[in-house]
Amino acid sequence: MPNKLVLKNLLQKYNLCDPCLKRQFPLEEGLNLSKYETETNSIKNNETSDEKCYICGGLMSSVNKYTDMIISSLNNYQQESFSIGSRVSTSIIEKEDDLRSFAKLKGGQNFKTHFSRELNNSLSKRLNLRPNYKNPDIMIIVDTLLERIEVSTKSIYVFGRYKKTKRGLDQKRKRCLNCRGKGCNECNLTGFIAKASVEENLMLPLISLFKAKKTKFTWIGSEDKQSLVLGEGRPFYTEIIEPKIRCPSNLFSIKESNGVSVNRIRILDIKPNNDIKFKVRIKCNCIVDSAITKKDIDKLEKQFNGLIVKMLSNNRNRHLLKKIYSFNVNSVKGLCLIINIECDGGLNIRSLVTGEGTEVTPNIASTLKRRITLDEKKPFDVLDVTYVETQ
């Protein structure tokens, strides 16, 4: 039982509601205040007293009201777990510290933790769901200062492959040059140029399906805007940010649009690893400035089959090693060559062929000792992309 003298002095100085008083004595389970009377007044529950609690000002009695507000805010959300936090006036924290200092009380939860726990318990009973404090689907903040509910949701990660059967389509959206991605009148506050891309063709249906705020793509390699992506398609991961729907029933309903189609799409259990190693098969359409011989072809195939080339990194401060697993000159028609290459992902195909910027060494142009370019109307096509999935 709490020390009667401490309790007497506490209640002579402060008017406290039942929850705020019990919180000061965490080891006294089942504390019954009605058994205690002081010489000056009876201990009264704040629910029946006109005088408000010194600490919370009656906030502890508003748990049901805020629970109703939370449930109303979650009408359009799909969730399996939740966690509730709160935002309260600093004066409440200061008053409780003042009280504990006066009564020389140590330990016990503070008001904010207690209030949040009561909210979690209340919502759990109403929705028949257990709170998940470590990794909830939905995070809820009850702002008692502004009398509002803030809801945020855990990101969902989606894997898929896209095929691109139309040339002239960028993989990524282009940032607005006027505002540099910040959003302005010219880009309709999106931060991006209104131009068709693979990203936009995938982004819009995913945002609609998950009722999400936005998406963030991780591409397993990239291609030229004039390139096709064939075979099983290029893999990609998407972070679905702030989704309201977590398991859409029609995930496979994304239709082909603008030459972009999706297959093998699925929701992942965990966030994928960013360090992804992959191989790619490419068909290059090349043009040389003078005719090549059978001897030249044999030389190319002998040198590049199984060769490890050096490539400058994007920041140009180190060399990366990339392996070419197979290299075959498929056909030669006049000055036009078709070369099939299987290599490590991330190898700059344009530099490998043309030697531009000496980013890849050795390269085909330096080996042939002549100028060689890619057909800009159809430079190279992606035939297949293979890699080990994270799950």
> Which residues, in sequence order, are bridge partners of residue 320?
311
Give the per-residue pLDDT at 149: 97
Q: pLDDT averaged over the chain? A: 89
- CATH code (residue 241): 3.30.70.2510
Domain count, the chain: 3
Give the per-residue pLDDT at 31: 55
Please compute the mean of the pLDDT values over residues 295-324 and round it to a whole number. 92
On the question of pLDDT at 4 being above 80, the answer is: no
On the question of pLDDT at 349 being above 60, the answer is: yes
- CATH code (residue 41): 3.30.2300.10
Please compute the mean of the pLDDT values over residues 58-71 and round it to a whole number. 96
What percentage of residues in the chain have a pLDDT greater than 70?
Answer: 92
Round to whole Å and give the CA distance between 39 and 5. 11
Among 247, 267, 287, give the residue marking a domain's end: 267
In a domain, 147, yes or no: yes
Nearest CA among 167, 168, 187 for reference residue 177: 187
Which of 10-24, 33-47, 198-212, 264-278 reaches the highest mean pLDDT? Answer: 198-212
Round to whole Å and give the CA distance between 314 and 53. 63
In a domain, 272, yes or no: no
Give backbone dihedrals phi and psi of 256, rounded to 5 degrees, phi first.
Answer: -65, 135
- CATH code (residue 295): 3.30.70.3190
On the question of pLDDT at 341 being above 60, the answer is: yes
- Domain ranges, residue 333: 278-387
On the question of pLDDT at 46 being above 50, the answer is: no
Give the per-residue pLDDT at 316: 74
Q: C-alpha angle with apex 87: 79 to 211, nearest 5 degrees?
A: 30
Assess whether 318 and 353 both reside in one domain: yes
Assess whether 380 and 320 both reside in one domain: yes
Give the per-residue pLDDT at 389: 62
Nearest CA among 210, 214, 204 for reference residue 77: 210
Alpha-carbon separation of residue 271 from 155, 189, 234 (angstroms): 9, 29, 19
What the block records as the tokens of 329 is 């000159």
Give the per-residue pLDDT at 34: 47
Nearest CA among 174, 179, 145 for reference residue 59: 145
What percentage of residues in the chain have a pLDDT greater than 90?
Answer: 70
Assess whether 14 and 107 both reside in one domain: yes
On the question of pLDDT at 135 being above 80, the answer is: yes
Assess whether 245 and 365 both reside in one domain: no
Give the per-residue pLDDT at 232: 94
In a domain, 305, yes or no: yes
Assess whether 46 and 143 both reside in one domain: yes
Assess whether 79 and 21 both reside in one domain: yes
In contact, 235 and 385? CB cutoff 8 Å: yes
Please compute the mean of the pLDDT values over residues 88-94 and round it to a whole number. 95
Please compute the mean of the pLDDT values over residues 77-98 and round it to a whole number. 95
In contact, 116 and 58? CB cutoff 8 Å: no
List pLDDT tens digits, range 8-17. Answer: 888 888 999 9
Assess whether 123 and 164 both reside in one domain: no
Q: For the chain, first and last CA: distance in Å?
A: 55
Lowest-pLDDT choice from 10-19, 23-32, 81-90, 367-376: 23-32
Alpha-carbon separation of residue 181 from 95, 192, 206, 212 (angstroms): 46, 6, 21, 20
In contact, 71 and 63? CB cutoff 8 Å: no
Question: 337: part of which helix (H) or strand (E)?
Answer: strand 336-344
Assess whether 311 and 204 both reside in one domain: no
Give the per-residue pLDDT at 6: 78
Assess whether 162 and 139 both reside in one domain: no
Assess whether 15 and 137 both reside in one domain: yes
In a domain, 51, yes or no: yes
Among 241, 267, 293, give the residue marking a domain's end: 267
Instruction: Write out 190-231 in H/E/C secondary structure.
Output: CCECCCCEHHHHHHHHHHHHHCCCEEEEEECCCCCCCCCEEE
In a domain, 217, yes or no: yes
In a domain, 182, yes or no: no
In contact, 258 and 301? CB cutoff 8 Å: no
List pLDDT tens digits, range 279-302. Answer: 999 999 999 999 999 999 999 999
- Other beta carbons within 10 Å of 385: 21
List all residues 6 or more positions away from 372 whose beta carbon is below 8 Å from its beta carbon. 286, 287, 288, 289, 337, 353, 354, 355, 364, 365
Nearest CA among 368, 383, 384, 385 for reference residue 332: 368
Give the per-residue pLDDT at 273: 82
In a domain, 120, yes or no: yes
Assess whether 253 and 383 both reside in one domain: no
Q: Name the residue with tokens 């159809």.
A: 378
On the question of pLDDT at 1 being above 60, the answer is: no
Residue type, 126: R
Assess whether 86 and 15 both reside in one domain: yes
Give the per-residue pLDDT at 103: 87
Please compute the mean of the pLDDT values over residues 361-381 and round it to a whole number. 95
In contact, 300 and 367? CB cutoff 8 Å: yes
On the question of pLDDT at 178 being above 50, the answer is: yes
314 or 62: which leads in pLDDT: 62
In a domain, 180, yes or no: no
Give the per-residue pLDDT at 3: 66
